[in-house]
Amino acid sequence: MKAMSADRHIIRFAMAQPYLERQEELDLAIRWKDNHDQEARNRIAHAHMRLVVAMAARFRGFGLPLNDLIQEGYIGLLEAAARFEPAREVRFSTYAGWWIRASMQDYILRNWSIVRGGTSSSQKALFFNLRRLRAKLAQGDQRLSDQAIHQEIASALGVSLADVQSMDARLSGADASLQAPIRGRDGDSGEQMEMLESGDLPPDEQVSGIIDGERWHGWLKDAMTELNERENRIIKARRLSEAGATLEELGVELGISKERVRQIETRALEKLKAALTHYGQSAGRTPELAF
Mean pLDDT of 4-19: 78
Spell out the residues 6+ positions from residue 109 whose beta carbon is closer than 8 angstroms to its own: 116, 117, 118, 119, 124, 127
Enumerate the H helices of 141-189 as residue ranges. 146-157, 161-172
Between CA 238 and CA 7 the distance in angstroms is: 69
Overall pTM surpassing 0.75 (yes/no):
no
Condensed to tens digits (0 to 9), the pLDDT of residues 99-145 reads 998 888 888 877 775 455 555 566 666 666 666 677 676 676 666 67
At residue 179, the pLDDT reads 58
Identify the weakest region by mean pLDDT among 9-13, 67-71, 83-87, 111-115: 111-115
Q: How far apart are CA 62 and CA 111, in angstroms?
A: 10
**Phi, psi (5° rounding) for residue 8?**
-65, -40
Arithmetic mean of pLDDT, 84-108? 87
Phi, psi at residue 265, to the nearest 5°? Answer: -60, -45
Cα 247 from chain centre: 40
Task: Look at residue 87 and tell me whether its pLDDT is greater than 70.
Answer: yes
Note the pLDDT of residue 100.
92
**By C-alpha distance, which of 79, 78, 74 is closest to 55?**
74
Classified as helix, coil or strand, 97 is: helix
The C-alpha atoms of residue 279 and residue 275 are separated, in whole angstroms, by: 6
| pLDDT above 70: residue 171 | no
pLDDT of residue 1: 45
CATH 1.10.10.10 is held by the domain 203-282: yes
- Higher pLDDT among residues 214 and 56, named by residue: 56
Q: What is the pLDDT of residue 175?
A: 47
Helix (H) or strand (E) holding 224: helix 203-224
The type of residue at 170 is R
Average pLDDT over residues 60-69: 84
Which CATH architecture does the domain made up of 2-111 adopt? Answer: Up-down Bundle (1.20)
Question: Which residues are registered as beta bridge partners of 138?
Answer: none
pLDDT tens digit sequence for 219-260: 888 888 888 999 989 988 888 887 788 899 999 999 999 899
Which amino acid, residue 77?
A: L
Q: Give the model's pLDDT for residue 148.
A: 76
In 3D space, the residue among 169, 165, 130, 134 whose CA is nearest the CA of residue 149 turns out to be 134
Q: Give the residue among 137, 112, 155 at the shortest CA–CA distance from 163.
A: 155
* Contact (Cβ atoms closer than 8 angstroms) between residue 202 and residue 211: no
Query: 128-150 b/e with 16+ CB inside 10 Å = b?
Result: bebeebbeebeeeeeeeeeeebb
Looking at every residue in the chain, the average pLDDT score rounds to 77
Is residue 178 over pLDDT 60?
A: no
103 near 72, Cβ under 8 Å?
A: yes
What is the end-to-end Cα distance of the chain in Å, rounded? 69
